[in-house]
Structure formats: C-alpha cells, structure tokens
Structure 1
C-alpha cells in the first residue's frame, strides 16, 4: 500500500483538480456560426482530398471546449458517426506515462535522475541511463517500432517484458544523453518502472490519478475493437482504402496504449492550460526542452514536443497506431488547443486539420519577412528539382545525402510535367522540432494539390534538412 501524501500536498492536489474545471473567463469564446462552418469545411476537405474515412476533433479556447464534432465514416462497428467514439491516440499516450513518473516523484517514490539499474539492472548500460533519458528519448535504447507499418512480429501478441528482453538488452545506439532518437522501447521500460514502484498496473494508476479526476474515460487500445469503436484503415500507395487487421496485443502499452474521444484528450489539454491535477512545477518540468550533453536542444520535453508559434510556446505530439493517426496541439498561455483524430494510418489528414483550424482561429505571423523569404527559398528549390538540378548549398549534410541522382531524377520526371503551380502557399505556422524548424506548403495545380514538408536549420538562411513532396492530405 502506498504511503499517503502529506496534508499540504493533498490539499494542493485537490485545489489543482478543482481548477481544471475553472475555464479562463475572458477568452473562452464559443465559435461563431461562420467559424463553425469554416472548421467543418477544413475537416471535410481534408478527408475528401486524403480519402481518410473519418475524423473527430475538439477545439479548446480560453481553457474550455468550444467545439467537438465527428465527420465521415467511422466504419461498420459504429451505427452513426459520433464524437463519443474512442480513437486510438497511440504515442500521444506517452505524455500520460511521463505524468505518472512525475507524480511518483512527487510522492517520493523515485527520482527522474535515478539510474535505470535501480529497477532493471539487466538492461544494457542500465547504470548509465536515467529515467529522464527514457522519457526524453535520449537513452540510446533501440526503438522496437521505427517503421510506419506493422512488421510480421506485431501480428502476434507480446508482453512488455518480452519487448524489454528483445530490444533493451541490445547494444545502445549511442551514449546516453549524447543524441536524440525516438524510442518506444524506452517508454516500455518506463511503464515497467511505474508498475514496479507504484504496485499497480499502469492503466489503474492513470485512471485513479488522472482520468477519474478529469472525467476522462479512455480504454486500453487492445480492447478498442468491435461494436462502438471506429475501424482502422490502411492504403497501399494510391490503391483502395482497406480495413486494417488489428495487431497483436501489448505492442504499444506504455508507449501508446490509449483509446479515447477527442473531448477526453481536450480535457487533459485544459488541465495543462490550468496547471491542474499535477502541480504547476510538474507541468513546467514536462514542457522544459531537454538538452544533450553538448548543450544542444532536442526540441522535446518529457513525452511532448516543444515548439513555438508567433512567440507562444506550443506543446504537441502526434500518434500513429495500426490504422489510426492523431494530433494534439496546445498553446498553454493562449488557453488554446486542437485535437484531431482519424481512422487511417495514411494521408496526414490530422496535420492538415490542425494547421487549418489554427490558421483560422489564431491568425497572424510575428515574423512575416522571415517566412516570406523561407517561402521564396522553398519555391526556388522546387523549380530547381523540376529542372533536374539542385543547389546543394541549400541542403544540410543529411539532405544532400537524401537527394541522390536517382532521387533528383524521380523528382524531375514526376514534377516537371506538372509545369508552373497555380499557387504555392504556407500551410500552418513554423514549428520547432528536434532543433529544426518545420514548415509545410501546399502546391496547387488545376487537377491536384501537393504537400511539401520541410525542416530547416533556424534562421532565414537555414539550410534544408528535409524537403519532401507528396500528394496533399
């Protein structure tokens, strides 16, 4: 049995919980009828262009849910499209795992700076890895699911311990703290530590300490199949949209185990905005960018990506399950959040929806000159690629490696016949990720739209780290 919290801490926790239901009064404007119509069009257009079957969204303004709606076809197991359907949120679940760790630290049961060897000494170099490094993807433990599809092994059931045994006992990919590399395996280890320290299974701990106080009703995604649950869909290239087979059980677990409604996730976002349920210091700790041993920033905190939009901190994360994609974006100091969930693991509709809603409800750019110049650079590189040439001084070492002669040839042969675009416009604002600035653009032709996803070094002249053109979602 766990030791009860001191009275002062229990009182603070109760007060924080009550604050979760106290919206910011001035800014919590409901959407106007015109805004609702435009939001509906943003979602409907994203689904139509990407051929994703359905989406469910929630919008938070002023710390209050002001719009929640579902669209499209949720599949044969849902009689009528409803915002009450639970979608698999996959890796967005990581921030709940990290929050559980912070709670256990508050209770004096562990420290984020504990070495993993204290709990699982048989993990490779466990005496050099901290819990904080597990949560920030800087541990060096190899990721067990780097693919954007489910390999054969995932068609069979597993257990967290089997994942640990197969991947966390391999040689590390790098010295702990020296690099950032996404690792689902690290979160499985974190979940096992939570269970060992708390004496409860992970979902029970989360339900008691987070979900029930916030009136959230998620379920384990391994049970989120059958009547009442959306069907997940997949697509091979531009082929037919097909229902996806469910993976084996326990693969995502502490790395992405939850299914919930968009409004459930929005309630968690409101808690983040109001600094509720967890002490404010825990929220700040989760949102603090972790730095590598050489001092460089990772663009990641504890289970969340940290970026910026027009001078405001953006806390976000995406998720990919078998047949599902999700996006959760919060701007705490503006009391604003957008949740977008869909039932397809292709098309990037959730990103299109999120960017569209943010552009609609949070317009404006504090650095128009820089963004205009970056747009010009993106257009120049596009025209170069259409002609089969490329100015490699615009590219980082990684991007230069990516654009092989074959890649440049394929870009030229597929883009040159399209000719000059009708329009070439930014979609969404710049976002910091992994030390680079993400900017996306829509390239429009009479009969099609293309999406350009770029990452670049910071600054107006930063070199491109990524420049990928694909069909628009």
Structure 2
C-alpha cells in the first residue's frame, strides 16, 4: 500500500513580517502550534501568520512527509516529489501544480529571510490532507493536519495507476478483488482549490439506475408488484401503457424516448405528466432503446407502491441496511465534488447537474459502491435468484435490469456507465473472477466504455486472470 505518511509537529514563534500593518504585526507575534498526524517535531524555520493566513516553510514540510525537493534558482521554482505525486510551485505564485493539474491557492507564497513560505491550506490540499485551524483558550493558533490516510495502492496494480495518471483521468477509481481493495485513488480536481480524494462524494449519473431496479425487485419480492405488470396498473395515461410492462421499462425495451425536461424544481409527478405526452419510438418489447424516461416511471412506481418518496425508499431499503452512509439522493445541500465541462479548450465548472429520481440523481463514493457490489453476491437485499434476473440479456444489446452483460469465453462481467452534468462514470463487476472496477469521473464527454475496457484489460493482465 502506498500512502503519503508523516509524523510530526511544529510548535514555534512565527516570523514577524514588516508590512506596515500593526494588526498584521500583532498577529504575527503569536505562537502557532502545528500538528501533523498527532506527532511533535521542531522545524528549523518558524511559521508565519499574516492577515489570517498561516504560512509554513516549504522545505520543512517536504522533509516532514519524506519527500524530496529540487530547487531551480533561475526560475525560482521548487519541484517536490512525495510518493507517486509531483508538485511544482514557483515563488510568489498562487498555485501549486499537482501532477498535471493546477491547484489554486487563496494567496501568494512569499520568501521570508531566504525561506519560501507557502499557505498551509494550499499545501494541505496538495497533499490531500485534512486541516483544522482554531485558537486555544490561551489565544494560541493551533493548526492540526492529518495527511492522506485513505488512498490505497497495492504493488500488483501500480501500472494501472500509472496509466490513469498518464491519461490525466479526473475523478476517483477503485479496483478490488474478492472485496479486497487493490487501488483506491483520487485524480485531478474536485474544485479549483481542492484535489479529488478517494473518499470524495460524487454524482454517479446513470449508475443510479441499479438502485432503481433493485427497489422495484425488492417490492416484487415483497409481493407488492410483479415485473410483468403493465405500467397502467400504477400510472395512468402513458402511451400504450397497458402494453408496456415494468419488465420492459427495466430492460429498456418499452419504446419510450429518453429525454425529458430537467428544470431544477420540477417534481417527479410533473416529469411523469410530461412523459404522458411522449410518442413511442417502436412497438413495446420489440427492440432496445435506452430510456431515462422509463426509469423515471419506475421511480414513480416505487413511490406509488411503497407510499414513500423514492429517496426515502432507496435510503431505508438499500443504503441504510448496507451501511452506505455516504450515499443518497443529491441536492444542493450535499457537498459533492464539481463536474467540469469544456469551454473554449478550457475545463470550467459545470452547472449543477439536474436529473430526476430513478435515472441519475444518486451521489455516492467508491467505498459505498464497493459495499453495493459485495451485497449483490449475497442475499442481504435481494435473493440470488432475483439478482440473477438483473444480469440476463433481454435484447440484442445485452441489457438486463440496469446491468449490461459482457461475456468473453467462460468469463462473465456485468457493467454500466453513466454521464451527465460534467460527470462520467462506470462500474464493472467481473462475476467469474470477482474483480470490481469503479470509475467515478468528473469531466464531461469521457468515453467511459473504452476507458473501462482498457482498465479491465490492464487489471486482468496485472492479476494474471
């Protein structure tokens, strides 16, 4: 396992900066206590507190995390290597380049008595560390830093990690075999000032559909519905609703078009009303057509049959029993990473991702999705007989119930991908070798099917499968 680890602490009187400000001078003379992973150490260079910002000596920080620093005098640039990461910072700038992305800092770094001082929050972000800044009862400034304790990387899959770095993959990735994590990493930016961390909450786009399908099937197991029931049993006014079964909605063979309006405050009932006015693309059950609208209807069925909101039903029936404590239906109140879209050859923050219940509203983490993966090998939520129906190919596109079947000789894999609002995701479960691959990207337009195939192939080679 490769982790960024350190064990130190700083307790010193900060350097006084002469900038003509009495307030800054008074603030600078206070002692500051910096703790890293709860251990104590005295650095050669004192920290600096100026206008509410704590600065720390770059070289001392690098040494504390067992990194190396190379200084280029002509460009006044420091190149730092910590673990598998390369950080580059130029004196006086407001950014730290971490691998291939630029991490914005709130203020410029500065040189004090020949020592390069960097803002502690920016440095902590560059190291994917947690930071807590507070004042003690005596008025002393206390800065507590806990470095990255969640990233994981086993030697056998280092080349997969290298590949993801080389292609500048943005997002989170997890690879596990038999439920044991081999790779759990974050890549790229969560926002302009924060890197993606492996435990980051993120939108999962159409990976949400597996939870909608499981909700319908759990109601079927409870005897509250049958997947062969027509949609007209639960929702009136759907075109040819007496001929469209829940099975057809689950398997994307209903003939309903995919698109619907995505206003942020549009209710599920209002979206269902919109779908009532859609024309079918083909005879129900005669062909395959991926339809978000179909899964919106399934979410509405969950609500009609259970008497609960879709969000509450998924939370109480699936997430809570499995300990998926970092998953749920997204809202602006939930702190997830940003999605990014490309404008004028630059990546910019995407507008808030608006979907509708059932099709793409879930947020989660790679760890929680691994819990979902493990549950599907058991009877914890659904019986194995029911789960088996999720993996069956019900069309020439091999689409089951929110899983797509892929066979290679005797090897069976089920997967799904998703996209929307600046997010691109994929989830692969090799049922034959029990290998799980989860890719939760936060850039729009990524070819997740091709990327997933490549990661699957490299993982199989690494594990001699």
> Shared topology, TM-score over 0.5?
yes
> Are the structure 2 counterparts of residues 352 and 120 from structure 1 closer, same or farther at C-alpha, using a change threshold of 3 Å?
closer
Q: TM-score, normalised by structure 2?
A: 0.63
Residue among 419, 430, 438 paired with 1:339: 438
Counterpart for residue 233 of structure 1? 340
**Which of the numbers 288, 301, 304 marks the counterpart of 2:400?**
301
Q: Is the 8 A contact 1:273 1:332 kept in 2?
A: no
- 2:418 pairs, out of 319, 323, 326, with 319
Is 1:65–2:165 an aligned residue pair?
A: no
**How many residues are treated as equivalent by the alignment?**
312
Bigger share in helix = 1
Correspondence 1:257 to 2:378? no
1:363 matched to 2:457? no
Instruction: Indicate the residue corresponding to 1:376 in structure 2.
Output: none
Please identify which structure carries the higher strand content.
Answer: 2
Q: 1:333: how far off?
A: 2.5
CA contact (8 A) 1:46 1:353 kept: no
Structure-2 residue corresponding to 1:442 = none
Compared with structure 1, are the counterparts of its residues 104 and 347 closer, same or farther at alpha carbon in structure 2 (3 Å cutoff)?
Answer: closer
Correspondent of 2:280 among 148, 172, 179: 172
Aligned equivalents of 1:159, 1:136: Cα separation in 2: 24
- Look up the SS of the partner of 1:83 in the other structure: coil
- Higher-Rg structure is 2
Q: Distance in 1 between matches of 2:277 and 2:195?
A: 47
C-alpha separation in 1, matches of 2:173 and 2:445: 17
Residues 397-449 of structure 1, C-alpha deviation per residue, up to 9 Å, x if partnerless? xxxxxxxxxxxxxxxxxxxxxxxxxxxxxxxx9xxxxxxxxxxxxxxxxxxxx
Higher relative contact order (CA 8 A, sep 6+): 1
- Whole-angstrom CA distance in 2 between matches of 1:352 and 1:128: 36
The equivalent residue for 2:320 is 212
- Relative distance call for 1:224 and 1:259 in structure 2 (3 A) is farther
Tell me by how many angstroms 1:125 deviates: 0.9
Matching residue of 1:24:
none
The correspondence of residues 7-46 of structure 1 with structure 2, limited to 5 A, is 33-46=154-167
2:146 is matched with none
* Displacement of 1:299: 0.7
Instruction: Give the whole-Å Cα distance in 2 for the aligned partners of 1:158 and 1:65.
Output: 39
1:33, CA displacement in angstroms? 4.5
Measure how far apart 1:156 and its partner are.
4.6
8 Å CA contact 2:205–2:361 kept in 1: the answer is yes
Runs of 5+ in structure 2 lacking a partner?
1-151
Q: Do 2:340 and 2:350's aligned partners in 1 also have CA atoms closer than 8 Å? A: yes
Q: CA deviation at 1:184?
A: 0.4
Report the Cα offset of residue 256 of structure 1.
Answer: 1.2
- Give the corresponding residue for 1:201: 309
RMSD: 2.4
2:348 is aligned, of 226, 232, 242, to 242
CA distance in 2, matches of 1:170, 1:356: 38
Residue deviations 1:335-355 (CA, integer Å, cap 9, x gap) = 11100111111233x556533
Deviations 1:104-150 (A, max 9, x none): 011000000001111112111111110010111111112115xxxxx
Determine helix, strand or coil for the equivalent of 1:334.
Answer: coil
> In structure 2, what is the Cα distance between the partners aligned to 1:122 and 1:215?
38
Matched, 1:143 2:283: no
